[in-house]
Amino acid sequence: MKKFLLLVSVLFFSQNLFSQISLLYPNGGETFIAGITETIRWTANATTSVQIDYSIDNGVSWTTITPATSPDVLFYDWTVPNNLSTTCLVKITDITNGATSDVSDLVFTIADSSPNPITLVTPNGGEYFVAGTTETIRWYATSITYVNLDYSTDNGLSWININSGISSMFPIYNWEIPSTPSASCLVRVSDFNNETNFDLSDGLFTIEENIASTLTLTYPNGGEIFYNGSQQDITWLSSNVGSVNLYFSPDRGLNWYSIASDIPASMGSFTSTVNAASTTNALVRVSDAANAARFDESDSVFTIIDTTKNTIIVSSPNGGENWQSGSTQYLAWTNTNMTGNVNIDYTTDNGTTWLTVATDLPAMYPSFMWTVPNTPSTSCKIKVYDASDASVFDESNSVFTITTSATGGVVAHYNFNGDANDGTGNGHDGTVNGAQLVADRFSNPNSAYSFPNPSRIAVPHSPELNFAGGKFTFTVW
């Protein structure tokens, strides 16, 4: 079987350092009634204030709604003016960067409430509903107390009642979509006491059967390391899904940014160029373009390394480990563009306070042999940072555990990293006689001893080292 791969290069995982704004509502096709309050909504990838304007002549001229919104609010309640038009637009603009703005994709309508006392808002045409799901019917009604709701599957030739005598005090109705598949559907809202007063959907919408659909992201699915500028495939498996949208999060799903939209689900893969700042908390999401509630994400986070900047990524411990006090464990990390030294700290309270492990270690040797201290805790982390710039750092993604030794602990420990001192702090320091410092098996300089004949390391006698008649373990690596 031949396999075809469609390569499409886009800006993948884009996390722009500058503000990006996207207007969500109104975005075209809506009908607003003069004097009614509507909520303008948008998204932004940075905390910013925006200016909001509207146009009734398809953007030829603009009138300001508000010169500045609160920086942390992504909506604005707008009382629709009595400027009737079928060619209206809304525009939002970053007040600190006028070049960053977004406008409604299509025109919407501002209508007078007096000609028709009832106006159906949604569904108003173009929607895609799935049988068994719940969708919202919205309308406006002036001087009408109760309404009837009906729907049609044959473009209005016949009507089926949804509900009757519904209060217009709260003009919203949650409609469970029936199992009546059709691409020629309409909804009608009418005055309960005078059915000649009514409004219906401006265009047709679709109801489809709730066929079992599946969507599974297969790559990246957690643990991968990608480099900025590299091309990577996003892959997925799907069943009964038409097209998909792809998204990227740099912060474990707190924020999501679009990668690409309306990709045929049958492709099963999409090739993109990584363009993001360094992060150890990256995720990818694939969602059904017709039903955003159907989606899948990376099972766990993956890493992106920006090779244009100094970066440090801690790989061990990275969360979930259980280390015994007195044991020897390797701390490991990767770094990019680092030419100086790094420092290592650890915490037993999830980062509230930090204690020194080691300082001024050559960054080119990204590992360190650590004698775990007797500080039992379930909230431990390791942090590695640039010795000359503490803002360049990384720490364990999650906490690990330090437990008390069940066998009484280590009596003496010799790292041999420059001397023969006892790393436990028990004072059993040795004296080097003829042994020579060499690189260890990880190529770390001056981190092991070679013993030409004759040579030795002598440790003074101590009652604590008297194991006569007892049990002990002697380990060499």
Question: Greater confidence, 340 or 268?
Answer: 268
The rounded Cα 102 to chain-centroid distance in angstroms is 23
Rg (CA), the chain: 33
The pLDDT of residue 397? 86
**Angstrom distance (rounded) from CA 464 to CA 404:** 19
Whether residue 376 is preceded by a cis peptide bond, meaning omega within 30 degrees of 0, is no
Q: Which residues contact 203 (CB under 8 A, 6 or more apart)?
A: 124, 125, 126
Q: What is the mean pLDDT of the chain?
A: 84
Residue 477 has what pLDDT?
59
pTM reported for the whole predicted model? 0.37
Confidence of residue 146 (pLDDT cuts 50, 70, 90): very high
Is CATH 2.40.50.100 what the domain over 12-111 is classified as, yes or no? no
What is the CATH code for 214-305? 2.60.40.10
Measured in Å, how far apart are the chain's first and last C-alpha atoms? 52
pLDDT in tens, 250-277: 988 989 999 999 999 999 999 998 888 7
Contact 200, 187 (CB under 8 A): yes
Instruction: State the pLDDT confidence band at 412, using cuts at 50, 70 and 90.
Output: confident
- CATH says 311-403 is which class? mainly beta
CA-based nearest residue to 111, from 35, 183, 23: 35
Determine the average pLDDT of the residues in 182-198: 89
- Residue 474: what pLDDT? 58
- pLDDT confidence band for 151 (50 / 70 / 90): very high
d(CA 44, CA 257) in angstroms, rounded, equals 10
Number of residues in the chain: 477
pLDDT interval class at 10 (50, 70, 90): very low
**Higher per-residue confidence, 309 vs 83:** 83
Numbered ranges of CATH 2.60.40.10 in the chain: 12-111, 214-305, 311-403
Helix (H, G, I), strand (E, B) or coil at 415: coil
3 state DSSP class of 23: strand
Residue-wise pLDDT tens digits, 199-216: 999 999 999 887 777 899
Q: Which one-letter DSSP state was computed for residue 167? A: E
Longest dimension (CA), the chain: 111
Residue 76's pLDDT band, with cuts at 50, 70 and 90, is very high
Q: For the chain, give the percent of residues with pLDDT over 90.
A: 43
Say yes or no to pLDDT of 163 above 90. Answer: yes
CATH 2.60.40.730 residue spans of the chain: 118-208
Mean pLDDT of 301-330: 87
Q: Residue 74 pLDDT > 60, yes or no?
A: yes
Whether residue 250 contacts residue 281, with contact meaning beta carbons closer than 8 Å, is answered with yes
Q: What percent of the chain has pLDDT over 70?
A: 88
pLDDT at 308 over 80: no
> What CATH number labels 118-208?
2.60.40.730
Amino acid at 19: S
Specify the pLDDT at position 467.
59
Please compute the mean of the pLDDT values over residues 384-398 and round it to a whole number: 88
Q: What is the pLDDT at residue 462?
A: 72
Is residue 401 packed enough to be buried (19+ CB in 10 Å), middle (13-18) or exposed (0-12)?
Answer: middle
* Per-residue model confidence (pLDDT) at position 376: 92
More confident residue, 148 or 3: 148
